[in-house]
Amino acid sequence: MSVEITSPHFKANAREALADAPLQQALAKVGPGFIGKRAAAAGKLPEFEALRDSARDIKDHTLAHLDLYLERYEAKVKEAGGHVHFAVDAAEARDIITRICRSLDAKTVTKGKSMISEEIGLNDHLEAAGIEPVETDLGEYLIQIRGEAPSHIIAPAIHLNKEQVEADFRRVHTHLSPGRNLSEPTALLAEARGELRQRFLAADVGITGANFLVAETGTSIIVTNEGNGDLTQTLPKAHIVLASLEKLVPTLEDVSQLLRVLARSATGQEMSVYTTFSTGPRRPDDVDGPGEYHVVILDNGRSGMLGGQLREMLRCIRCGACMNHCPVYHAVGGHAYGWVYPGPMGAVLTPSLIGIEKAANLPNASTFCGRCEEVCPVRIPLPKLMRHWREKEFERHLTPAPQRFGLAVWGFFARRGWLYRPATRLAMGMLALAGRRKGRFASLPLAGGWTRHRDFPAPEGGTFQAQWRARKAAEADARAAKGAAR
Amino acid sequence: MTSSRDTVFASVRRALGVTSREAPRLQEVGDRIAGHPRGLVPARAQVPPAECIALFKEMVLAAAASIDHLPSANQVPAAVAAYLRGRNLPPTILRGADPRLSALPWGQEPNLDVWIGPSDGRQLAGLSHAFAGIAESGTLVMLSGPDNPSTLNLLPDHHLVVVDAADVTADYETVWGRIRARFGAGIMPRTVNWITGPSRSADIEQTLLLGAHGPRSLHVLLVGEPV
């Protein structure tokens, strides 16, 4: 897959996505699937809301002491016989990993699902170096053989349907009988299992991400349902962990708090199937496990986020709940966001990592309905942080001219109430009159961007201000009437 | 020449406005690691031992695994043989060198072939002894090493796991306490696998299917009663 950035073309991407029938069919399942499962899992645990507070506090405490926890973590990994490499940016992380693979004469590497790997474009780089990367998470495998990027951070192939998967398997697995039956998802899963089993056993190096790094013990943790990342880090000669620096947590007890909210928020499970804690390489009396253990800790702009308002974004544990509950994500899917991280978390993180110049559309791709913040297990105020980026965009004159002009016109009126009130009254009155028959507009001059995909409701009564005044007056009358009756 | 390590640390310290030498911060971090406070532990599993075992069984089943509750460890060989027979599997099982498994009366099942060692992916069934079970979520805790090689947890199609009722704990935190007691503060075995049910994937149209890359079936052999 490539890390080509198409975020500047979000609007065109979104238009395409809205017209893509198979994609819309796949997206229709996102909300019903994830939302109900998360709600049910949260409902079964009376302490869930309090655990979210606890999770937030653990991450805040860690970030405020990140220098010290990083030092401790590094020392403990070394003590266990592992190596820690620091990478300032993506290029350096790619080079470190390639160097380790070359030192082991690696021909193939298996990979557990890692968003950081996507962020640094690792696969392209490995291929260029003559090393074959094999994605082993089923969803990641599907998008790898299609040459696509993930469209969701925990369900990378959520944009595909089973007919597409069948076609891809027939195209790629040409050594298997063309007459085989692949109509059922179980057959597709069995085929992927068979194909990848050989790759697991043959791989020279296994690369995984990390859900958490534990300072107390120098442990890296991955969470999977398939067992793929776990095989990836158990079978090859070397295990390389690629993690960004905000994955640190202080202790095993702290991790346990976070694990209690992670799976529930992500898939609605009580606990994911496999939670694997790895500390250093194979021990002297071990009969399996990797001979070398490396951790590559990536900064890539995150230390800069620590200093300001965006520090809160570094609490993110990548559960995907924000996008699972986002009406914009439901409508356009993950690819429209144009880079690695989609949905509300992507709308905040992407501008931090690739620059607001390229990502200005993303924090604007929100209705500010607030559902993302309502479900975030570490209580990241995503709408507030998106607003932060909108302000930055405006300050830096990145907002398109028509929008700036429109805001200036509105601002002119809004600052002059004696003008604003009659002007809005007139406009609302005219719209109500024009739309009185249907109660909505299928098209409207200057609002084509809105009405192309949905109707614009016609105003039903006076302006907001007029209604507010009327309501206050009615309340005052009612109070007066009550007083008179007493 | 400054290393990337120095650059990253300098950048973190600059953003936080710290030097990494402030006594109160060092104290706070040192205390947290030494004291590893438990945080909020759900009330769900904070119940008497018999109820804890009942909850463990319930959660194991909820995670799509199966479970046998045996009065004593001596029944394990027969239960293993019965499991394999019941699923039309060859009477062969691979296990680690765990003395608790070696001590079992395997001779009572003369038709059962028991092999010892790590898995190379060719075995249909593997047997491990868990370090602990966790009632809160029906999770098994496996430690790596020659006694219970990690490959047995992941490669065979069928994974059978013995867990002593006395080792079923209420919560994750209790297990960490036991691991510290065994290995020392701040020390972990190479791999700790938490396993909650058989392998699964929902990556095709969000349809949940069992048997992705790890075992298709997970069978728990719970042994004895809690003390």
Beta bridge partners of residue B201, listed in sequence order: B209
pLDDT digits (tens, 9 = 90+) for A115-124: 999 999 999 9
- Partner-chain contact A253 B36, CB within 8 Å: yes
Among A38, A19, A40, residue whose Cα is nearest residue A30:
A38
Predicted local distance difference test score (pLDDT) of residue B177 = 98
Of A142, A165, A225, the CB nearest to B200: A225
Helix (H) or strand (E) holding A197: helix A185-202
pLDDT digits (tens, 9 = 90+) for A451-474: 877 788 888 777 888 888 889 999
Tell whether the model's pLDDT for residue A160 goes beyond 60: yes
pLDDT digits (tens, 9 = 90+) for B137-165: 999 999 999 999 999 999 999 999 999 99
Q: Which residue has the higher pLDDT, A69 or A419?
A: A69
Predicted local distance difference test score (pLDDT) of residue A2 = 45
Pairing type for strands B132-134 and B113-116 reads unpaired
Domain map of chain A by residue range?
7-304, 418-485
Predicted local distance difference test score (pLDDT) of residue A1 = 40
Average pLDDT over residues A39-43: 97
* SS3 at position A28: coil
Non-local (6+) Cβ contacts of A198 within 8 A are none
A258 φ, ψ (degrees, to nearest 5) = -70, -35
**ipTM tops 0.90:** yes
B135 CB-contact burial (10 Å; exposed 0-12 / middle 13-18 / buried 19+): buried
> Could you count the other beta carbons within 10 Å of the beta carbon of residue A24?
16
pLDDT digits (tens, 9 = 90+) for A223-234: 999 999 999 999
Predicted local distance difference test score (pLDDT) of residue B1 = 60
Of A186, A254, A285, the CB nearest to B39: A254
What count of Cα atoms within 13 Å lies in the side-chain half-sphere of residue B202? 17
With beta carbons less than 8 A apart as the criterion, state whether A281 and B190 touch: yes
CATH class of the domain defined by A7-304? alpha beta
What is the pTM assigned to this prediction? 0.93
Of A162, A271, A307, the CB nearest to B137: A271
Average pLDDT over residues A6-24: 95
In whole angstroms, give the CA distance from residue A137 to residue A115: 12
Among A21-30, A118-127, A463-472, B6-15, the range scoring the smallest mean pLDDT is A463-472
In whole angstroms, give the CA distance from residue A82 to residue B56: 35
Predicted local distance difference test score (pLDDT) of residue A394 = 87
Mean pLDDT for all residues in chain B = 97
Average pLDDT over residues A290-312: 97
Contacts of A162 in chain B (CB under 8 A): 204-205
Rounded percentage of chain A residues whose pLDDT exceeds 70: 99
Q: For residue B191, what is the nearest residue in chain A, using CA coordinates?
A: A278
Among A277-281, A374-378, A416-420, A457-461, the range scoring the smallest mean pLDDT is A457-461
Helix (H) or strand (E) holding B72: none
Interface test with A, best of B28, B40, B201 (most A CBs within 10 A): B201
CB distance from B206 to chain A under 8 Å?
yes
Domains and CATH numbers, chain B: 49-223 (3.40.50.10420)
Among A206-220, A468-482, B67-81, the range scoring the smallest mean pLDDT is A468-482
What count of Cα atoms within 13 Å lies in the side-chain half-sphere of residue B103? 8
pLDDT digits (tens, 9 = 90+) for A99-146: 999 999 999 999 999 999 999 999 999 999 999 999 999 999 999 999
With beta carbons less than 8 A apart as the criterion, state whether B127 and B101 touch: yes
Mean pLDDT for all residues in chain A = 94
pLDDT digits (tens, 9 = 90+) for A319-330: 999 999 999 999
Q: Which two tokens stand for residue A68?
A: 């010290």
CB distance from B199 to chain A under 8 Å?
yes
